[in-house]
């Protein structure tokens, strides 16, 4: 494990970012949060962690932040992440994800920060013929969300070639779960993640839910995803930080378990655990949804020593 490091966590008041802050604290590091609170929550902020309110693409905010702190690394989570919204409002995603990320990377270069861990997504892959998707699979995003993240990846790679900057890009599959100690969880309203929507249904917070697309070329006709627990995901980021501190070369790695579950299988599990019958309505496919996304995560396990 690396010595105590000061790490900027963008989006640190959000779902994944808040778990990352606690993981850094648990590992003995010193996180600092930058979040514009467009989707973040005060309730998710760890005690005694400095918080800066503002957008990562605002140079006035980052100039002040980097003048007041000497960071060893940046972990960049702040982003817009809702696939259907990216289809209906693509400019929001290219501005908030790609342009703001480019501005943040520029601020890091200007401040001499040479370690960067980037939150990317399996959405960069789009539809694939292979069962397990490896990092060298062709990137063909089906939606502006995935495209905005792929562009950000390329910016990071190009900047790293021109400047003293090392990175780990982590491509998330479907993140689920909550901190085992109850310190953080998924508070998004309205809910956009399948498991949270299903749990709201069985706890009486909604009357019904929809399954979008039942005619995919999968065993039961619904989309298949690789669900990774948020604490395992956070552990992958700690491993990435240790790897960069040890002098590891820049790399891109998938974050998933290598096994998929269909929408119907997830809902059957929720019904089984809760003892409830779920009121489910079949609906047409959503634009931008790939049929199946399941990770080959062997690179993350082999190179970074990650053990979920």
- Residues annotated as catalytic are 145
CA angle (31 as vertex; 28, 33 as ends), nearest 5: 160
* Residue 207, φ and ψ in degrees, nearest 5: -90, -30
Entry field: residues in the chain? 308
Dist CA 22 CA 28 (whole Å):
10
Q: Are the beta carbons of 253 and 300 closer than 8 angstroms?
A: yes
Q: Are the beta carbons of 174 and 227 closer than 8 angstroms?
A: yes
């Amino acid at each position: 494990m690396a010595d105590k490091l000061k790490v900027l966590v963008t989006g640190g008041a959000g779902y994944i970012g808040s778990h990352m802050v606690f993981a850094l604290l648990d590992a003995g590091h010193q996180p600092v949060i930058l979040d514009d609170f467009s989707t973040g929550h005060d309730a998710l902020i760890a005690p005694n962690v400095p918080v800066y309110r503002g957008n990562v693409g605002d140079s006035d905010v980052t100039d002040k932040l980097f003048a007041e702190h000497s960071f060893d690394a940046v972990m960049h989570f702040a982003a817009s992440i809702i696939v259907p919204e990216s289809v209906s409002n693509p400019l929001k995603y290219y501005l908030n994800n790609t342009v703001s990320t480019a501005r943040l990377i520029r601020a890091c270069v200007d401040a001499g920060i040479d370690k960067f861990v980037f939150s990317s997504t399996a959405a960069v892959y789009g539809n694939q013929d292979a069962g397990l998707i490896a990092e060298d699979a062709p990137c063909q995003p089906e939606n502006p969300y995935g495209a905005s993240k792929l562009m950000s990846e390329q910016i990071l790679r190009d900047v790293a070639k021109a400047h003293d900057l090392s990175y780990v890009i982590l491509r998330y599959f479907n993140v689920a779960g909550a901190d085992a100690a109850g310190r953080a969880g998924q508070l998004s309203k309205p809910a956009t993640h399948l498991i949270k929507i299903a749990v709201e249904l069985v706890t009486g917070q909604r009357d019904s839910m929809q399954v979008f697309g039942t005619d995919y070329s999968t065993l039961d006709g619904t989309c298949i995803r690789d669900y990774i627990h948020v604490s395992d995901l956070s552990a992958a980021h700690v491993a990435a930080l240790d790897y960069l501190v040890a002098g590891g070369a820049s790399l891109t790695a998938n974050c998933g378990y290598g096994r998929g579950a269909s929408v119907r299988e997830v809902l059957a599990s929720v019904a089984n655990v809760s003892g409830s019958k779920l009121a489910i309505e079949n609906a047409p496919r959503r634009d931008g949804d790939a049929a199946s996304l399941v990770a080959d995560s062997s690179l993350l396990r082999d190179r970074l020593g990650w053990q979920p």
